[in-house]
Chain A
Amino acid sequence: MKDRLLTPEFRVVVDHQRCTQCHRCITGCGWGTLSCNNGRIVADDFKCVACHYCVTHCPTGAIVVEEFPLAFKPHANWTVGLRKNAWRQAQSPGMLLTGMGNDQAYPIVFDHLVLDACQVTNPSIDPLREPMELRTYLGRKPNSLAFDSLGRLITPLEPQVKLETPIVFAAMSYGSISLNAQKALAMAAEECGILWNTGEGGLHKDLYPYGHCATVQCASGRFGVHSGYLNAAAVVEIKIGQGAKPGIGGHLPGEKVSVEVSETRMIPPGTDALSPAPHHDIYSIEDLRQLIYALKEATDYSKPVSVKIAAVHNVAAITAGMVYAGADIVYIDGFRGGTGAAPTIIRDHIGIPIELAIAAVDDRLRQEGIRSQASIIAAGSIRSSADVAKAIALGADAVAIGTGALLPLGCRVCQKCYTGNCSWGIATQRPELTRRLDPVLGAERVSNLIESWSLELKEILGALGLNAIESLRGSRERLRGVGLDNTTLEILGVKPAGR
């Protein structure tokens, strides 16, 4: 403890009256916080990240984790967080790393949007006794349909992917999360009729049976990308950027490249997996078109190709370019989007909120007359079914959830994913930690969440007097803003409440 600049964030308090010395907390903690000293459980508070694994697994409820009760001289400008960051970098030089999404107190637009409901003049619908359609198809839609004299469709349709509810799982690679965590998501996706996403870590051999409900990524590192991988999937996605770290590449450190991770990424074990910041074969929209069509050729035009970007200042123009380039799905990740590891300074200060990005992109694609040519997936902190409904009303076809999908697996949003010590067995490759995550139970819990949100979405639709999620898409008239300034309202295309 000598001469440290930093102080603990949390304090672990053990009630020794209740403690039975079962040591479950010691083996449970991935951080090595707890140990046994002279027959008593003691804690090194510096190591605690408040992941609650010990608290939730203590059979006698003997453990409490509290905020470390230390006063800092108040300063509205030099916040405690900024001071701690400076101390940390003074002790260990380098870029600060973090995990999960932006934790800064930017205004949350979703929380300033409210939905409409029917009263008297237009009847609401009871979803308990009337059919309510959440089914969503992702892919390029024709501008018009033609039928023959017998009423059969003659317009050729581009490949479509069916979602039973307008939610998919965000891209989380094997490497950033454990195989058991990815398996839980894959099983939940199959159960719920939605998609999971491999991220750019390749598709593990055990997960090929879940390829039919997977989006596989082709990112700048091209890890694990080969024709078998591309053809196993429902959707192929070109990852350009990520909301948590727009414009920067990724480094999976060699320590995390275990034998299994190396087999899936198809690189030697123990080597750093470097994803360059750009794709070095994409320097323009024309180059993007080339990769999109190379992937379509390699998959015989049998599946939609998605392009994922981070929401940045000119997201609308870029997205229009992507659609012209042939993207069937555009995946926009807002600045609150999560990550397994990103420099804190990038995560917290780059990009724009997803709500504004959805509105801007939807507007632009409509103006250009190409909105039907691509589906929009919105991501970047979708926290509840209300966020799903609001995102769709703003113009998205579906949303992606990352953090939301990890919460059912036990995630406490401690934001230490990059360390690989996750006690819950999610963001780690340590076998003693990953084996505690039961993929079957995990899948059940994740499915429960998706089903719950779907039920809530149906209630929301019923209140709106709609019987299909299609009818809510881009229907901004059903949204009102509360406490938003005029410019924001104008960008959102939403009226203020009361008008």
Chain B
Amino acid sequence: MVIYGLIRENRKGSLLVDTQWEECLARVDSFVRRTFPQQNHQLPLSRALYEWQEQLRQRPRSIRLDAEGVYYRILNKLVREAVNMGVGAVELVNVNGQRYIGDGLEGPVRIDIYGVPGNDLAAFMDGPHIVVHNNAQDGVGNTMNEGKVTIYGDAGDVLGYGMRGGKLHIQGDVGYRVGIHMKSYRDQVPVIIAGGRAGDFYGEYMAGGVLILLGLGKKNEQSIVGDYLGTGMHGGVIYIRGQVPQHRLGKEVGSSPLEEKDRALLIGYLTEFCADFALNLDEVLAEEFLKLVPVSHRPYGKLYSY
């Protein structure tokens, strides 16, 4: 606990002393012994741990970690401790399904992930920028408060559940239940942009924020989005590039044409998205967009007898 207090001070500018680094390493050491008591010292974990400690002793601005065969609890602990010590860039290589990377992490750090991270990437995250140089799995950005996740590939189901702020940029397709119960608060407006297609229940219960679906590379006969689109939606806005047949829409959403301010908003969001994935903004904007908003902000206001 004391360590965290000191580290927070450190972010404001005061210097850390060597003993704190040693204490940090000792904390990780005891954590590893507790969570992996029967550790075989020939395992890749030992190698990763040794390299991590050696690197951290140099007080680096950036750190690189080979995640091959490293148990997720230990991997995340190493990342967390590094971020707490003020490391500004973390590179994780050979990631193979480790869950919960970046969960609850705060602060300005960039985490580059090579390989496929596991479920709940960036859950409860509050600030960092995670870049996945591959596909991602389910639950990315669960209840995320701030920060950004850029995914150079596809992502799975339940992305951005209850997300309150920050951005998810996905180059390819996304699965079912994306953007459920997203909400905005004051100047926090969560944004999920997917370059490809989405499954059923897109934007269900949506209470705020922005969902943008582009359907790039979609074959003609394919539908850009699944059924029950925006069911229970009572806030926020969904922009879809192309058309969606009426039967796919939840009964709580209505479509309307793009206004000038929608266009300005879209250009703002898509400029960043196109820069991330080297796309041509004009080509993306060339097709018509459909705007979906809730019919009522009180879809369940008349259910009760008083």
Which chain A residues have a beta carbon within 8 Å of chain B's beta carbons? 88-89, 92-97, 156, 218, 220-222, 225-228, 230-231, 251, 253-254, 266-268, 271-272, 274, 276, 280-281, 290-291, 293-295, 297-301, 343, 419
Contact = CB atoms under 8 A, between A and B. Distances in A.
Nearest to B145: A226
B161 A293 contact: no
A225 B162 contact: yes
A235 B119 CA distance: 23
Contact of A280 (B105, B181, B184): B181
A92 B306 contact: yes
A297 B76 contact: yes
B124 A298 contact: yes
A281 B158 contact: yes
A185 B86 CA distance: 38
Given A276-B205, A297-B73, 13 more contacts: A221-B181, A222-B181, A222-B183, A226-B124, A227-B124, A254-B297, A274-B181, A276-B180, A276-B232, A280-B158, A280-B205, A281-B139, A301-B73
Given A222-B161, A280-B204, A290 B232 contact: no
A231 B106 CA distance: 12
A343 B126 CA distance: 37
B156 to A, nearest CB: 11
Given A222-B162, A226-B145, A272-B301, A280 B126 contact: no
Given A221-B181, A293-B99, A271 B142 contact: no
Interface string B161-199: 110100000000000010011011110100000000000
Contacts of B300: 251, 272, 274
Nearest to A85: B305
B180 A227 contact: no
Contact of B235 (A156, A228, A251, A271): A271
25 contacts: A88-B305, A92-B305, A92-B306, A93-B305, A94-B303, A97-B306, A225-B143, A226-B126, A227-B106, A227-B145, A231-B104, A254-B301, A266-B183, A268-B186, A272-B301, A276-B181, A280-B201, A280-B205, A281-B161, A281-B177, A294-B124, A297-B73, A298-B103, A300-B104, A301-B73
Q: Which of A228, A291, A297 has the most CB of B within 10 A?
A: A297
B129 to A, nearest CB: 16
B305 A281 contact: no
B124 A419 contact: no
Chain B interface category by residue count: 35 or more
B34 interface: yes
A266 B182 CA distance: 12
Interface of B: 34, 73, 76-77, 80, 99-100, 103-106, 119-120, 123-126, 139, 142-143, 145, 158, 161-162, 164, 177, 180-181, 183-186, 188, 201, 204-205, 207-208, 232, 234-235, 297-306
B164 to A, nearest CB: 6
B120 A294 contact: yes
Nearest to B34: A156
A227 B106 CA distance: 8
Contacts of B299: 272
A267 B162 contact: no
B54 to A, nearest CB: 23
Contacts of A276: 180-181, 205, 232
Contacts of B181: 220-222, 274, 276, 280
Most chain B CB within a 10 A radius of its CB, from A88, A251, A300, A343? A300
A343 B183 CA distance: 26
B70 to A, nearest CB: 15
A268 B209 CA distance: 12
A298 B235 CA distance: 28
Contacts of A266: 164, 183, 185, 188
Contacts of A95: 303-305
Contact of B304 (A94, A281, A293): A94
Contacts of A226: 124, 126, 143, 145, 164
A226 B142 CA distance: 11
B208 A268 contact: yes
Q: Which of A94, A95, A231, A298 has the most CB of B within 10 A?
A: A298
A254 B298 contact: yes
Contacts of B298: 253-254, 272
Given A280-B181, A290-B119, A271 B305 contact: no
Given A156-B34, A281-B139, A281-B158, A94 B302 contact: yes
B124 A94 contact: no
Contacts of A221: 162, 181
Contact of B123 (A94, A220, A268, A298): A298
A12 B163 CA distance: 50
Contacts of A251: 300, 303
B161 A89 contact: no
B21 to A, nearest CB: 18
Nearest to A93: B305
